[in-house]
Chains A and B, each alone.
Chain A
Amino acid sequence: MSTLLVLEQTLNGIQFGVFLFLISAGLTLVLGIMNVVNLAHGALFMMGAYFASTFVAWTGSFFIAFLLIIPSSVILGIVIEMLTLRPLYLRDHMDQVLATFGLILFFNEGVKLVWGVDPQPMPTPELFTGNVEIFPDAPYPVFRLFIIGVGLLVAAVIYFLIARTKVGMLIRAGASNTQMIRAMGVNIRFLNTFVFGLGAFFAGLAGLMAAPIISVESGMGDEMLILAFVVIVIGGIGSVRGALVASVIIGVFEVVGRSMLPIAMQQIFPLEIAQTVGPALASMLIYILMAGVLFFKPQGLFPARTG
């Protein structure tokens, strides 16, 4: 039974890690290539979830919602990029932090105005409503497996895009040396907008996938943003591969740690201590991990910048 629980929680952890990857993949490129701090990325995730909920309510189809998410999240991302970030590329990080913080305030409150304060309904798509028994006698929701599949597909697409296409080559070059890209005479403005739009799309996609299983409400992106930062710090700014590895590590640590650590501690410590310290320690786990990685590898596991 206990082993089964661990396996199931590990799977949940991987699925959570895939979410984190969808959110952090775009963000790590934005940070790495554009050298811009963008706190509003979590808001793009939230908007993706709200859009998804609305599109499903309109059309009744998860698939059509997916098709509509593509343009809506990309356009939203590009509008944000053009209106607020573009004038700030050459300013210091402080300005970027505050401006994008302003965007979070706007979006968190804006969704309350448009959609109301209650969480938005979002049914699990019918195709994926059932359970499968991956392990004997342990039904696992198909939709969660579907999320893992989508995440891996996205990872493959990004890998192809970055490793095999011309724009990918520029992205790689840009992540390691922005000056060089400028010197090569590439239209950096277009590249920035492209990368930002791409990041916005992945964040929106994450919102769509998350909507059926976590509560669609104002502020849902805030915590995700911090986790994405932890992922990016561990993986190395600008590294998609780092983001993938770190996402899965963080996802598993977070989910398994939170559910198992208090139980595990009860085996060793008196119940009272375990119940007090256990949850606290579990919530610290990933941050301790981050501090540890930083101590040994200040540039993250997969540093993209070389000099």
Chain B
Amino acid sequence: MADPILKVEDLMKSFGGVVATDQFFFDIQQGEFHAIIGPNGAGKTTLVAQISGMLKPDSGRILFDGQDITGLSAAERSHLGLARSFQITSVFRHFSARQNVALSIQARQGHSFRFWKPAARDSSLTEPAMKILSDLGLANRANVLADNLSHGEKRQLEIAMALATDPKLLLLDEPTAGMGAEDSARIREFLGGLKGKYSMLLIEHDMDTVFSLADRVTVLVYGRGIATGTPEEVRGNAEVRAAYLGEDDAAHA
């Protein structure tokens, strides 16, 4: 069997005595759609930061496609094929939608120490950027400044930028954050379309999205993975119900 696309071994991270990630193990198989859920403060954000390379773990290893990437920077991980989208929309507001995507393509094409030719007229950037925008149904918004896009469009652009780096693994940090039900459904449908084409790690709050899309789910509580399994297995897990779903039910009651 092939190496898992991502393997996390015994990851530890604490901030001044507060343990945020605690002996965390998990893996994502090639082509798998894996979701991580957990209540607020479970350490999801810290985990994403460590996997994407924004934060150094105290100990433990992260393997990407069989290679130890624990010591690599975020940029180096991106070049290996690990792409992420952000929970808080972080598109480049003063660039057009096309420029946003073109920037990602520029990154994957190697160094950018090119000082003379206008990037906006470089067809090796603009054409693939337009293609990705068309695929997402954003072609007619290509020249609009990202700042002027709707919230849903910004979230889509956010994912488009991650896709444009030609990733092997997509790390999606709460792609439906701050969205209404209608927009959430649209993103869910869109993610469903990506399923199978990319290995994906979804960090999510929205249960509908997680349980309808994920192959496997890992539940994170106080920095520890308390359960991993198919959506049905996780739903049935008593510890999970106590720690998380129970709370969720109570909140809905």
- Asked if chains A and B come from one complex, the reply is yes
A residues within 8 Å of B by Cβ?
306-307
Chain B residues in 8 Å Cβ range of A306: 15-16
A306 to B15, CA, bound (A): 8
Can you list 4 A-B contacts (CB < 8 A)? A306-B15, A306-B16, A307-B15, A307-B16
User: Shortest beta-carbon distance, A212 to chain B, in Å?
Assistant: 45
Among residues 1 to 55 in chain B, which have CB atoms less than 8 Å away from a CB atom of chain A? 15-16
Q: Which residue of B lies closest to A176 (CB)?
A: B16
> B: which residues have CB within 8 A of A?
15-16
Bound-state Cα–Cα, A306 to B16, Å:
8
Alpha-carbon distance A57/B15, docked complex (angstroms): 55
Q: Which residue of A lies closest to B16 (CB)?
A: A306
List the A side residues contacting B15 at CB < 8 Å.
306-307
Contacts of A307 in B (CB 8 A): 15-16
Considering the complex, give the chain A residue whose CB is closest to the CB of B15: A307
Tell me, in angstroms, the Cα distance from A307 to B54 when the chains sit together. 13
Instruction: Give the 4 A-B CB pairs with smallest separation, nearest first.
Output: A306-B16, A307-B15, A306-B15, A307-B16
Distance in Å from the Cβ of B217 to the closest Cβ of chain A? 29
A172 to B: closest C-beta gap in Å: 13
Of chain B, the residue at the smallest CB distance from A307 is B15
List A contacts of B16 (CB < 8 A).
Answer: 306-307
CB distance from A303 to the nearest CB of B (A): 11
Q: How far is the CB of A180 from chain B (nearest CB, A)?
A: 13
CA distance A307 to B16 in the complex (A): 9
Least CB distance, B58 to chain A, in whole angstroms: 13
A43 to B3, CA, bound (A): 64
A298 to chain B, nearest CB (A): 14
Shortest CB distance A128–B (Å): 45
Chain B's nearest CB lies how many Å from the CB of A202? 29
Please, how many angstroms separate the alpha-carbon atoms of A307 and B49 in the complex?
A: 13
Chain B residue nearest to A306 in the complex (CB): B16
Kindly state the separation between the CA atoms of A235 and B15 in the bound complex, as whole angstroms: 21
In the complex, what's the smallest C-beta–C-beta distance from B21 to chain A, in angstroms? 14
- Docked CA distance A244–B16 (Å): 24
Report Cα–Cα, A307/B17, bound state, in Å. 12
CA distance A248 to B16 in the complex (A): 29
